[in-house]
Amino acid sequence: MRLKNELLQKLSIHTTFDNQAQQFETYKPSAVLIPLIDNYIPKIILTKRTAMLPLHANQICFPGGLYHPQDKNFIQTALRETQEEIGLLTSQITPLGYFKHFFTLSGYYIVPIIGLITPPITYHLNTAEVATVIEAPLTYFLDLSRYKTMKVFNQKKLIEVCKITYQEHLIWGATAKILLEMAVQWHK
């Protein structure tokens, strides 16, 4: 409960959910869950994608995926995808709200949903998509000094993207940008 109150106080999150996905030309609508474990030491859950995936292989990300027409809203997308990928039941997740959407270099717009997870947690990984789950202290990602930039090629152009490293895991692109947005809001 303490974490929920702190999140609602410090983060600029929207708490009403639209009924459908907006259309942004060629961008594909999607949602991710920012799963926060409500424990004595709050933790954030990230996943490492498998090497065999055609897109974003081996990358660190939040559970999530494409909006489906049968989804009532983005929260349902995030909850459905989280259950499919790591086996968290929707009954274990309390959605608090969402950040503004983010556009990605790979053609998606992502709606990040913030959700509190009630322990105990048992993961059931979809091993076709998820190689491992990473639980990390939330405070690690709230430290603005940890965020850097790196250069990557996108459509034959060299561009700068946000990155952060946790242990041996490089987190970059949209996931790092969402984490950075959360950290910036936390310190306002």
Q: Does residue 160 form part of some domain?
A: no
Q: Does residue 125 form part of some domain?
A: yes
Assessment of whether the complete model's pTM goes beyond 0.85: yes
Residue 75's CATH number: 3.90.79.10
Domain hosting residue 77, numbered range: 2-140
Q: Does residue 168 form part of some domain?
A: no
Identity at 183, one-letter amino acid code: A
Q: Does residue 73 form part of some domain?
A: yes
Residues 126-168 pLDDT 10s = 999 999 999 999 999 999 999 999 788 776 788 888 999 999 9
Q: Does residue 94 form part of some domain?
A: yes
Residues 44-92 pLDDT 10s = 999 999 988 666 668 999 999 999 989 998 999 999 999 999 999 999 9
Provide the Cα torsion 125, 131, 133, 139; round to 10°: -150
Record the tokens describing residue 69, joined without a space: 């027409």
What is the distance between the alpha carbons of residues 140 and 44, in angstroms, rounded to a whole number? Answer: 9
Q: Does residue 161 form part of some domain?
A: no
Q: How many domains does the chain have?
A: 1
What is the distance between the alpha carbons of residues 23 and 36, in angstroms, rounded to a whole number? Answer: 29
